[in-house]
Structure 1
Amino acid sequence: MSSPSAMNELQLSSTTHLTHVIEYCNELGIQWEEIAEQCFLPVDIENNREWVRSDNLLQFVAILERRVNRNIGLDIGRRATSSFQTFFRQNLVGITSIEEALKTLLKIMPKMNNHLSIWLEQIEGEYWLCHRKSRNPSSPGYAQIEWYNIFLFCTFLRAFYGHTWSPRKIKVMSIYHADAAYKYFPRSNIDFECDFSAIKVDDLTTTEGIHRVTTSGDIKQGITKLVTSYATLPWFTIEWFAKIMCTTPRTLQRYLRSQNLSFKQLKEQTRKECAIDLITNTSMPIHDIAWRSGYNDLSNFNRAFKAWTGESPSSFRATSKDSKAILDSLRC
């Protein structure tokens, strides 16, 4: 990406997916931190991270595929089943029909990435849950991510049908990992090199009211999400962010101005919201809050916080506690 303005979209993925890859690496004792940094991915994803560039995640998975395991996507998908199942079951409470369950899935998916098309289609009298990423299937790492997504959608359907359910038919765009795929899906008929990925859905009689979801990968929205995800890193600068965006700081600044965005304002607003939330809602020491908000130096944090609120962090915390005490007394 030499020029952001030349892009049609900025593809993002939830750090939930990155978490599953890292858990897999930790379980097998794989040293992943250096690879993550090489791919401009955060190594402290527990610290309020929400989004990463999908290109960076794909690169990370591709390197792990070469170095560690050709079946990494299948292995990670299987290991992530339990956490996904808990999440999906929570969203399916009270839902009794597969039609309503699929409508719920289509609402959930934009929260997990911004570049996946999902739809229901009737093919030769059978109904399929279809999805397609806006990426060439021959891209390094694509097959791994595709199989991971197949596991994700199967887990959703198992949360509805029951844990013993297995798809009778699967379509994938990639041509790799046939042996491993049949190992994990021994009862499924799998077609490779298809135009899209899909899972046959049981008991569905109509697609009426179940509308296709295509997330746009809007650049302005994507940049805003990335800035708010990374702004609390102490080293978060326009130079560092430009590397993530595969461009130069000057070109990135020019593009941000064309979109009426200010890197400094987005960064400061994110750090401010993080600091105020931690000061108001936790008993965390101020020096720890400074670090969590992106400041290695406490005095710099104190100056920034006073500029934001007109008060020092300790004074703001005391005022917040007094206000809460008054509200609590009024409720009694």
Structure 2
Amino acid sequence: MQNPINISNSNNLAPFLAYFEQKGIEWRKIAAEYDFPEDIEDREYWLSSHQAMAFLGAMVKQTNKNVGFDVGRLITLDQISPELVSEFSGCENLEHALHHLLEMMPTLNNYMVVWVDKIDGKWYLCHRGSYHPSLPGYDQAEWFRTFAFISLCRMFLGHHWEPSSVFMSFPDHLARDVTNTANLDAFRFDHAFGAIEVPLSAGFVPVDKPIDSDWLTVITALVQTYAVLPWFNIQWLASLIGTSSRSLQRQFTEHGCTFRGLRDEARCQVAKRLLKANTSPFETAWRCGYSDLSNFNRAFKGWLGITPAQYQKQTS
């Protein structure tokens, strides 16, 4: 089994296990095959995200049900995590909550990236998992993640709020039989990332925190968080913090560094960590923001002078 570079709290599986129990679906045998603790229903554990996704993928095959959709559309945020409800209860509105979400996500979760972006003139709460969409269970994890974010928005927009538009990053044939049981007019599949449309003011700035006092520290942290996105560039970063790319470039120069240098350093660190954990160069490339393995190999050799495969062999 792959080294658990990315981990998930077993509480995230609690709604699925409750669903299986309610429907009389046997799940323990498959859970045992994926080395889940026998008392996972009663105690909190940290599991490999890869392990949890594979379990859900196996349960889909066994039940022929889209369990991610079935469970996701019924959950509320307090069922996922009462601590998160408490965390966001002090927020005045959705905009405040999203600022708080983006600030806390890098320390809360290490297997997804979350951001807010304007697409075709509309604001979206966006998310991208760190595993390749071809992996078993990926679609189930994204259904659950999407509905979890919808549940967060409902804390501020009302329990019956529905997004007008939703993007999913897996192809529509993986929606399984959902189209026969639910209205999916708002959903679009095979997108570059997952996203739900959210009602925010025109002047909303995704990262709304003072950075002048410790500019380089804050910018470096943002780069380390978002460098793994394939489209990550200086224009995108400037939009995230509500400035122009020219102004941002000037700040990099004044602080004696470059955007490209910080981005490549962040990607290099992620790549080394994954390769040391025996993650394949192909999957490592995807997680570092490269859709093409040859481009990743070329970039990695430029960073360290050797290929990812050679580095992996040296550090294994």
Q: What is the TM-score of this pair, normalised by structure 1?
A: 0.57
1:71 and 2:69 matched: no
In the alignment, which residue of structure 2 is the partner of 1:180? 178
> Could you tell me whether the CA contact under 8 Å between 2:95 and 2:200 is conserved in 1?
no
Could you say which residue in structure 1 is the equivalent of 2:190? 193
Does 1 or 2 have the higher relative contact order (CA < 8 Å, sep 6+)? 1
Change (3 A) 1:208 1:77: closer
Residue ranges of structure 2 left out of the alignment (5+ in a row): 209-221, 229-269, 278-314
By how many angstroms is 1:16 displaced? 1.3
Task: State the alpha-carbon separation in 1 of the partners of residues 81 and 157 from structure 2.
Answer: 12
Q: Which deviates more, 88-97 or 123-132? A: 88-97
Distance 1:183 1:85, change over 3 A: farther
Matches within 5 A, 1:232-311: none
Q: Greater CA deviation, 93-102 or 30-39?
A: 93-102
Displacement of 1:46 in angstroms is 5.1
Q: Structure 1's 90 and 12: CA in aligned 2 closer, same or farther, altered over 3 A? A: same
Write the distance in 2 (CA, Å) between the matches of 1:23 and 1:112: 24
Q: Is the 8 A contact 2:66 2:176 kept in 1?
A: no
* Aligned position for 1:10: 5
Give the share of equivalent positions with the same residue, in percent. Answer: 29
Once the 2 structures are TM-superposed, how far is the Cα of residue 111 of structure 1 from its aligned partner?
6.5
Contact residue 12 and residue 52 of structure 1 kept, 8 A: yes
Q: Distance in 1 between matches of 2:108 and 2:64?
A: 25
Work out which of the two has the higher radius of gyration on C-alpha atoms and give 1 or 2: 1
Q: 1:140 to 1:157 in 2, by over 3 A?
A: same
1:118–1:132 Cα contact (<8 Å) kept: yes
Q: SS of the residue aligned with 1:79?
A: coil
- Indicate conservation of the 8 Å contact 2:53/2:138, yes or no: yes
**Which residue pairs with 1:101 in the alignment?**
97
SS of corresponding position for 1:42: coil
SS at match of 2:25: coil
Distance 1:217 1:44 in 2: 35
Match of 1:124 among 120, 123, 138: 120
In the TM superposition, residue 84 of structure 1 has moved relative to its aligned partner by 3.8
AA paired with 1:116?
A: M
- Aligned residue in 2 for 1:23: 18
**1:10–1:218 Cα contact (<8 Å) kept:** no
CA contact (8 A) 1:11 1:114 kept: yes
Distance 1:161 1:147 in 2: 20
- Compare 161-170 and 201-210 and name the one that shifted more: 201-210
Per-residue deviation, 1:86: 5.5
Match of 2:31 in 1: 36
TM-score w.r.t. length of structure 2: 0.60
Report the alpha carbon displacement of residue 109 of structure 1 after superposing the two structures with TM: 4.2
SS of alignment partner, residue 140 of structure 1: coil
Residue in 1 that maps onto 2:55: 60
Deviates more, 1:175-184 or 1:49-58: 175-184
How big is the shift at 1:20? 1.7
Q: Which amino acid aligns with 1:190?
A: F
Distance in 1 between residues matched to 2:32 and 2:184, nearest whole Å: 39
| RMSD between aligned residues | 3.3
Amino acid of the structure 2 residue aligned with 1:159: M
Unaligned residue ranges in structure 1 (runs of 5+): 224-257, 259-332
Find 1:80's aligned residue among 56, 75, 79: 75
**Aligned equivalents of 2:48 and 2:28: distance in 1?**
17
Q: Name the structure 1 match of 2:148.
A: 152
Structure 1 residue 39 displacement after superposition? 0.5
2:217 is aligned to none
